[in-house]
Every structure is written in structure tokens, then in C-alpha cells.
Amino acid sequence: MTRLFGTDGVRGLANDTLTAPLALKLGAAAAVVLTKDRGSHQRRPIALIGRDPRVSGEMLAAAMAAGMASRGVDVLRVGVIPTPGLAYLTDDYGADIGVMISASHNPMPDNGIKFFSAGGHKLPDDVEDEIEAALADLEEGGPTGTGIGRVIEEAPDAQGRYLAHLAEAVKTSLKGIKVVVDAANGAASEVAPKAYEAAGAEVISIFNKPDAFNINDNCGSTHMDQIQKAVVEHGADLGLAHDGDADRCLAVDAEGNIVDGDQIMAILAVGMKEKASLRNNTLVATVMSNLGLKIAMKREGIDIVETAVGDRYVLEELNAGRFSLGGEQSGHVVVPSYATTGDGTLSGLMLMARMAETGKSLSELASVMSVLPQVLINVPVSNKATIMGAPTVQEAIAEAEAELGDTGRVLLRPSGTEELFRVMVEAAEKEQARKVAGRLAAVVSAV
């Protein structure tokens, strides 16, 4: 049986695989599981529900609220808010459960449901499994009369609380920095420009007018060409691109060159080490991070701990080792002192603060690491589970690794959110990486 939860919650085509009835039942099941160990409390359990602006979010948030209220949970709907904002507010409001309705960087027709426990922490696999089991055994009905939860439709101070938190986290003045912000017509469309302006930056906003249908539509961190052009056209110092729920941030330097998550982590790690705030001089990164990051961090006297792909696994390692910085090449950067999950707006603030503190351009800061040529091909497949077990795939991997030797590497893995298999190849030369990746992708596609 296919697991309902993927690497980042439950995700699918809205009103097809991810329906309102499913959201209602998930809400009820999550309410049962996530409130069962509360002990004796004077008040009823509270859940916060936020969403990104895509059209199906309204429907799914309403169903989720109904499901939770049916199990005696009071629900506060905070409206459109970035995922890290919802995580922060879950803790700030003292809620027992946080729910974010978002498919992050996925196209508009998709949507997803992400759960947070008290304190704003993503759920471990075993708790998600418990919710799935409760979903299968969910009894009809629930409390009646005064036992039914209330649903409060808006929280007017939610955005203000999150903005105040960001301002407290990064106090460096950004005066004199001109930044283009691509909000992906998503959850950061209001918050990110406000946060950067409050810190003193001159902000030029693009793709910040969500209409429920244009989220991630040829914009944001998965379509960087738009912000590359805008930075050069406006003569900006940098550009910052978020995804639909703003837990990611990628950057562009003044010449229009992309500065990815690995480079952002390298910049922040060096800065934090200088301030003695990089705990154990260690950075947590995933297996997808570029070899260039490892080389640069070794030169700077910084250790790297590797995890599986997914910010939840980065978070687990950060918490287990009590480290202070981690993230992914895709732009998820986690700073546990200020956030319980990746926060794209916080990353943007910290990156610009490093520019302001050093007086260096983004390109100068990013030169701390050299990016080895990397090619990533997303291969549509019918069954992700069968790919790595195929003899043809194993043979192709062995041939590729023999060809690359110590000058590169190969990584194949299933997408956690889509029916895709990701083929990644790094090599000393771009053309070699492209050829090897193409051969591997063809083999995967034929399985």
C-alpha cells in the first residue's frame, strides 16, 4: 500500500487525489493523534490553519477546519501566510497543531497539507504513520454539543506577529541595498517585500499579485530567468526568488548570475563561523549538495554532515546534533535559533545582512565556493518504487561511476512529491555531466 505522506506532507492534484473529503478526514485523524497526549488542560486544543493563495486552498482549508472541529479542536484560520510563518505562529499562539495548505513549488493545480506539532515542528515519520492508521480506523461522529470545536475565520494580527519576529531575528540595517524580490505570486507576496523594506532595503517587487491561479506560473525560485533579467534591468545589487509557500530562497547577483542554496549556505556558514555562532563549526547539507560546497567548507575549516533529501531530514540532524545551520541546494535554509523549518524570507534577510556587514557584493561573497558542473534531469516514471531495483539501472550507474572516477559523482533518487525520478550527475566538465546524465535518464525512462 502506498504511503499517504510523502517527504513533505500529503500532496496531490487538488480535487482529484487530494479532495475535500480526504482533507476533512485527515483533519479529524490528525486532531485525534496530535492531541491525545495533552494531559489535563484547562482549555481545549487549538489548531492554526494557513494556506498559500492557490484557488484550491480555500476549499481544503475549510474541509480541514471542519474535520478538526468535529473532534473538539478549536481552529484559528490565519489566511495566506508563508509556511515558516505558520510554523512560527503555531508556537507563538501556543497552538497544539499547525496546518499549512500548500504545494510549495508545485504548479497551481496541485496542493498539499503539511502538519506541525506544538512548537511549530514538522512531524516525524512515525507520527505521520499514526495519523494514517487513525484515518483508516476513524469512527463516524465525534463530540456533540459543547464538545464541538469552534472555527475563527481570521486572525488580523498574524502577519504582524511574523514580521515582528523576522525584524527581531535580523537587526542589521540594509540601507543602501537595492533588491528585486520575486514572490512567485505566492504566500510571500506581501510579507517578503514588507520585511525587506522594514530592514531598510530598497525593494522592487515582481510577481507579487496572486490571483489564485498564477502561483509559480513561470516565476519564483523554479523559473529564475525572470528575476535574472529584472536585476540587470533595474541595476539592483541582488535578486531574491521565493517559491509558492516561501520556505525557499534563491538569489541572483548584480550581473544576473544565480546564487543557489549551496552558495547561500556557504556564505552564511563562513559568516556565522566568524561570529562564533556556527555550533561545532558544522553545516548540515543533503546528498544533493554540490561537491564544490564540500571542498569550500573543508578549506574554511567547517565540517559537513550529510542527510537524505528533504528539509525535514536536515531538521532532524540539526536537532540531533544541536547544530545551527543547515539546508538544501534548492534554497531551503534552516537556522534553528530563529526558525523550526526553512524560511526563505529569513534567508534573504541574513544574506543581505552579510552583504551590509562586509561591504562586499553578492558575487564576491559567493566566490567562497566554486560550483562543479551539475546536471539534474527529472524523468517521468510510472512507478518510482521499481527503478533502483532494475538491473539495467544498476549497470548504468556502475558504468557512469567508473567513467567519472574521483572527479564526479552520480545520484539517482525518487521525487518525494511527484511521480518523477531524479538523475543527478556532477563532473569536472559540463558536457561530460550532460552526456552521462542523458544516458542514465534514458535507461530510467525505459524501465
104 annotated as a binding-site residue: yes
Is the separation of the CB atoms in 266 and 292 below 8 Å?
no
Please give the radius of gyration of the chain, using alpha carbons only, rounded to the nearest integer.
Answer: 22
Does 211 appear as a known binding residue?
no
pLDDT tens column, 279-296: 999 999 998 899 889 889
Residue that the C-alpha cell 560550483 belongs to: 371
φ and ψ at 248, to 5 degrees? -115, 155
Show Cβ contacts of residue 27 under 8 Å, excluding neighbours closer than 6 positions: 63, 64, 65, 66, 67, 68, 70, 71, 99
Global pTM reads 0.90
Q: Is 337 annotated as a binding residue?
A: no
Active-site residue (options: 70, 104, 289, 324): 104
d(CA 60, CA 58): 6
Identify the structural domains of the chain with CATH numbers, from first to last.
Answer: 10-156 (3.40.120.10), 161-366 (3.40.120.10), 374-446 (3.30.310.50)
Indicate if 104 belongs to the active site: yes
Helix count and strand count (H, E) for the chain = 14, 19
Share of residues in the chain with pLDDT > 70 (%): 99
Q: Has 237 been labeled as part of a binding site?
A: no
Q: pLDDT tens digit string along 394-430?
A: 999 999 999 998 778 899 999 876 789 999 999 989 9
pLDDT at 428: 85
Interval 57-109: pLDDT, tens: 999 999 999 999 999 999 999 999 999 999 999 999 999 999 999 999 999 99
Any residues with CB less than 8 A from the CB of 393 and at least 6 apart, and which? 387, 412, 440, 443, 444, 447
CB distance 184 to 221 below 8 Å: yes
Quick: pLDDT tens for 248-262.
Answer: 999 999 999 999 999
Confidence of residue 38 (pLDDT cuts 50, 70, 90): confident
